[in-house]
């Protein structure tokens, strides 16, 4: 990892994202850019109250934002051996984030989760969802306060190519964390089988077959870790529910998931909405 981009709006939620970005940049000894996006709408609103021209308002606002960014940066750079660059863009927020990630060739985009309001934002198609949908680079959504490096990472796998990518990115993100591969399987039409008279014994047999097959597949997945830092879990259940269960039971700091193209699966949406730990989405 050579470049990290973290977006901030100076809220307490984005402070978590900034702190996590600093930890990762320190761990990887990589460059860090801190981005704030000024929207045209916010400039319009200020122009309605100020006598200055639009250009002057833009300059004043940009200078003010740079001053705030330097306040955060100077505090950190005095304590840690990393280089942090401020960046201010005037654009729609998701455009500013994605274009900045492209221009600085960022290996990771970090966003903050806005607590109870974030779930609402995710489902009405605003900033975070647009970045997740359109983004081609790994995106880390920070939900917890960040004070120590990740120590236990769960990687959701479905045995497709994106599973290999998710595993690789999880290993790259944290060199020393334990990696746990997670797979939830379901018996197709489970309840319908019962209604059609299939015995519980037969359903149990199907479940055993699905479990055995998934166990064989998950064992084939390669993880660049020492054996004592790798674990694998296979269970029957609805994937979103299982993610919550595993997070609480196994105490993950981070869940990593793969996405396919410009589409967010219901599993990803549910995880981003409900998970209590950080989430990283990779393509």
Q: Which of 3-17, 75-89, 116-130, 229-243 has the lowest mean pLDDT?
A: 116-130
Nearest to 11 by CA among 3, 19, 22, 1: 19
Q: What would the pLDDT profile of 24-64 be if each residue is shown by its tens digit? A: 999 999 999 999 999 999 999 999 988 889 999 999 999 99
Q: What would the pLDDT profile of 108-122 be if each residue is shown by its tens digit? A: 999 987 544 444 343
Q: Which of 3-17, 137-151, 206-220, 242-256 has the lowest mean pLDDT?
A: 3-17
Q: What would the pLDDT profile of 56-106 be if each residue is shown by its tens digit? A: 999 999 999 999 999 889 988 888 889 999 999 999 999 999 999 999 999
In degrees, rounded to 5, the angle at the alpha carbon of residue 95 between the alpha carbons of residues 91 and 99 is: 105
Per CATH, domain 1-148 is 3.40.50.620: yes
User: Which CATH number applies to 149-283: 3.30.70.100, 3.40.1020.10, 3.60.21.70, 3.40.50.620?
Assistant: 3.40.50.620
Domain spans, the chain: 1-148, 149-283
* Whether the predicted pLDDT of 187 surpasses 60: yes
Answer whether 1-148 and 149-283 agree in fold: yes
Q: What would the pLDDT profile of 153-186 be if each residue is shown by its tens digit? A: 999 999 988 899 999 999 999 989 999 999 999 8
Query: What is the pTM assigned to this prediction?
Result: 0.90
């Amino acid at each position: 990892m050579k470049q990290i981009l973290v977006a901030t709006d100076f809220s307490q939620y984005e402070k978590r994202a900034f702190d996590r970005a600093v930890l990762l940049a320190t761990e990887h000894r990589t460059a860090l850019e801190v981005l704030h996006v000024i929207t045209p709408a916010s400039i319009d609103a200020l122009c309605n109250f100020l006598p200055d021209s639009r250009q002057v308002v833009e300059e004043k606002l940009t200078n003010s934002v740079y001053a705030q960014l330097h306040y955060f940066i100077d505090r950190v750079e005095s304590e840690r051996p990393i280089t942090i660059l401020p960046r201010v863009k005037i654009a729609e927020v998701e455009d500013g984030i994605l274009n900045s990630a492209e221009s600085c060739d960022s290996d990771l985009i970090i966003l903050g989760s806005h607590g109870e309001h974030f779930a609402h934002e995710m489902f009405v198609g605003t900033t975070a969802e647009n970045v997740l949908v359109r983004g081609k680079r790994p995106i880390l959504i920070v939900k917890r306060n960040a004070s120590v490096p990740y120590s236990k990472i769960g990687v959701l796998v479905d045995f497709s190519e994106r599973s290999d990518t998710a595993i690789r990115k999880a290993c790259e993100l944290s060199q020393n964390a334990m990696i746990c591969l997670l797979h939830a399987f379901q018996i197709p039409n489970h309840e319908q089988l019962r209604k059609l008279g299939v015995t519980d014994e037969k359903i149990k047999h199907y479940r055993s077959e699905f479990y055995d097959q998934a166990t064989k597949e998950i064992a084939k997945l390669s993880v660049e870790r020492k054996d004592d830092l790798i674990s694998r879990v296979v269970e029957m259940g609805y994937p979103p529910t299982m993610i919550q269960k595993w997070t609480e039971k196994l105490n993950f700091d981070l869940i990593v998931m793969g996405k396919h193209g410009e589409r967010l699966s219901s599993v990803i949406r549910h995880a981003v909405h409900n998970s209590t730990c950080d989430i990283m989405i990779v393509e």
